[in-house]
Amino acid sequence: MNLSYLYVQGRQLSDGGMYIISVTDLDPAGVLIKAYNQVTSSEYYLSPSEDELEEAGLSRQKEDLKTLVESIDLTELSGGRTFLRSSLAGIKDPKVIPQGAEAAQFIKSIPAGTDTLPELLTTALSELCKVKPSGLDAVRWLGQWLLENNPNQPQIEEPIVEEA
């Protein structure tokens, strides 16, 4: 894949560092904005979709790309992690994906009936070991078991209709 920059500009962001900010075309998905600080080797990314660009009233013209680049800055989100965000209406804030201990805590907190997700998965894998399917059959078996034993899925019992 040969990517070329639509627009490149150097500017200072809120942390006081000088960044090379480049915009790469990912048509038809949108654009990728990369802010690179050579001194600290820090890289930050923002990838507004085609719909977000349209909602913000932006095209791929140089003036619009300059407006987009000048609207971005660093922001600190949950857990002290730093992200790029745009001040333009229509460009959504980045989604926070939990990592490390935060991800582990999130997974442990997901209910699976009266248990948690890790407990349900431990039971499922124990059952898989008893059956011992091989290759892709193991994946299919595990998926089927999880569908059949999902405690969060409503159980529907059809009434028995007696014929007269």
**What confidence score (pLDDT) does residue 1 get?**
56
pTM of the model: 0.64
Are 6 and 23 a contacting pair, CB within 8 Å?
A: yes
pLDDT digits (tens, 9 = 90+) for 58-111: 999 999 999 999 999 999 876 678 899 999 999 998 887 778 888 889 888 888
Domain ranges of the chain: 5-86, 101-148
Element (H, E) at 147: helix 136-148
